[in-house]
Amino acid sequence: MQGSWRTPMVVLTCGTIILFISFGARNIFGILLDPMTESASISVGDFSFAIGLQAVIWGLTTPITASLAERYGTARMIALGGTLYAAGLILMSLVQTPVHMHLTAGLMLGLGLSATGFPIILAAITKRVDARRRSLFLGIGSAAGSSGQLALVPMGQFFISGYGWAVTAIIFGCMVSLIVLLSTAMKDPKREAADPNAAPEQKLTEALGEAMTHRGFLLLTAGYFVCGYQVMFLGTHLPNFLTEAGQDPWVGATALSLIGLFNIFGTLLWGALGGKWRMKYLLTSIYLLRSTVLSVFILLPVTPVSTYLFAAAIGLLWLATVPLTSGLVARIFGLKYMATLTGIVFFSHQLGSFAGAWLGGVFFESTGSYDTIWWIGVLLGIVAAALHFPIDDKPVERMQAAEA
């Protein structure tokens, strides 16, 4: 939209702040587990199931919210999501039963996150930038989520220590409400008038059919399950794992913050590399490196030093998959339905997130240990690397014809 104040840099900045708040607030649940299960009438298993439910609802509804955003407006959908997200956090401060936890932290936050997360925000940013800078802008936007984790997790620990988890939930709910204001910058660009001599535009049903019969899309979707499993398990259970190993609660909070800090550099680096190297090979490398880092950490004695080194290493790989996965979808299928198609891939990610969060609680309550769930994560990383290597990353014939 020529002359609009919604320039690429304005959209990138506001989108970055939205992701900073949305993803940063989401990552306080790792440090909420211990105080909530001590004071509220919920167990570790109840808490883990609610977070897993949140992940599934988040992933299941993301293709729907993305499709609605593409049809009725991105800004409106983000504002609706921010409202649900903020209300869910505030109402969560009153939790006393598992059902209440599932309705607030699970249902309301899952719906809110689906409209304020990476697929919709990154698609809005991508539509404003040329192909040459696309991977870099996706990297910058993705890094924003972890910068929120870096800043908001220690802030959350500070408020929990000083005022309790309930007050902390209310404070973060008020912070999330700022997303509604920021959403005004994310209005979709005005479409150019259609060329009467051009080929008819692709319909959503045609785009879905094209993607579902594309072997590379299916492999990318299957591999993203592993990313969700690894990230959500660590985000939910790493602080409790460290506490059970005799570490101070601040070690867990610091570790999550360090993951966020190093992921800023990692996501920017991998996003920039995505503009120079084939993204499928970069994704293969990321999953192999993750398995290596997880293996080394679990085999070493747990100390603050080993924990912080692990956090730095895994942080460099944490959300590095996001700009590359989104970039592959845009490269293969184009931009028109990027948010919807990325949302479908993201649903697989969230199924993995549910498995990582929920099974972490199940194994811990049944065995008193996280060892089995750690090693499952290592093996899944190797599987994901094998899935990404053979992906056909060339643009589909429709895109090649349009470029010609």
| Short-list 379, 365, 259, CA closest to 312 | 259
- Amino acid 66: pLDDT: 86
**Cα–Cα distance, 404 to 398 (Å, whole number):** 10
Identity of the amino acid at 269 = L
Rounded to the nearest 10 degrees, the angle between the axes of helix 29-39 and helix 215-244 is 50
Residue 199 banded pLDDT, cuts 50, 70, 90: very low
Residue located via tokens 């349009």: 402
- Amino acid 400: pLDDT: 67
The answer to whether the CB of 246 falls within 8 A of the CB of 230 is no
| Short-list 7, 311, 21, 339, CA closest to 176 | 21
* Topology of the domain comprising 8-188+204-403: Growth Hormone; Chain: A; (1.20.1250)
pLDDT at 378 over 90: yes
Higher local confidence (pLDDT), 404 or 125: 125
Buried b / exposed e along 92-121 (16+ C-beta atoms within 10 A): bbebeebebbbbbbbbbbbbbbbbbbbbbb
pLDDT at 195 over 60: no
pLDDT at 15 over 70: yes
For the segment 91-118, what is each residue's pLDDT rounded down to a tens digit? Answer: 999 998 999 999 999 999 999 999 998 8
The answer to whether the CB of 256 falls within 8 A of the CB of 27 is yes
**Cα–Cα distance, 265 to 276 (Å, whole number):** 17
- Amino acid 402: pLDDT: 63
In this prediction, residues 69-94 reach a mean pLDDT of 94
**Cα–Cα distance, 231 to 219 (Å, whole number):** 19
The answer to whether the CB of 279 falls within 8 A of the CB of 329 is no
The answer to whether the CB of 307 falls within 8 A of the CB of 373 is no
In the chain, % of residues over pLDDT 90? 49
Q: How far apart are the first and last CA of the chain?
A: 26
- Amino acid 381: pLDDT: 97
| Short-list 221, 263, 230, CA closest to 353 | 230
For the segment 302-340, what is each residue's pLDDT rounded down to a tens digit? Answer: 999 999 999 999 999 998 998 899 889 988 998 788 888
- Amino acid 228: pLDDT: 93
Paired tokens of 314: 């895994």
- Quote the DSSP letter at residue 128: T
For the segment 168-190, what is each residue's pLDDT rounded down to a tens digit? Answer: 999 999 999 999 999 999 887 76
Identity of the amino acid at 105 = A
- Amino acid 200: pLDDT: 59
**Cα–Cα distance, 157 to 163 (Å, whole number):** 10
- Amino acid 322: pLDDT: 86
- Amino acid 268: pLDDT: 85
In this prediction, residues 33-56 reach a mean pLDDT of 87
In this prediction, residues 206-231 reach a mean pLDDT of 94
Residue 145 banded pLDDT, cuts 50, 70, 90: low
**Cα–Cα distance, 82 to 14 (Å, whole number):** 14
Residue 128 banded pLDDT, cuts 50, 70, 90: confident
- Amino acid 401: pLDDT: 67
pTM of the model: 0.76
How crowded is residue 203: how many other Cβ atoms within 10 Å of its Cβ?
A: 11
| Short-list 120, 22, 56, 54, CA closest to 340 | 120
In this prediction, residues 55-60 reach a mean pLDDT of 88
Average pLDDT, the chain: 88
Residue located via tokens 């599934």: 56
**Cα–Cα distance, 67 to 45 (Å, whole number):** 34
pLDDT at 196 over 60: no
- Amino acid 403: pLDDT: 61
The answer for 368, left when phi > 0, alpha when psi is -120 to 50, beta otherwise, is left
- Amino acid 192: pLDDT: 46
Higher local confidence (pLDDT), 390 or 327: 390
| Short-list 386, 335, 313, 6, CA closest to 184 | 6
For the segment 270-289, what is each residue's pLDDT rounded down to a tens digit? Answer: 988 988 899 999 999 999 99
- Amino acid 193: pLDDT: 44
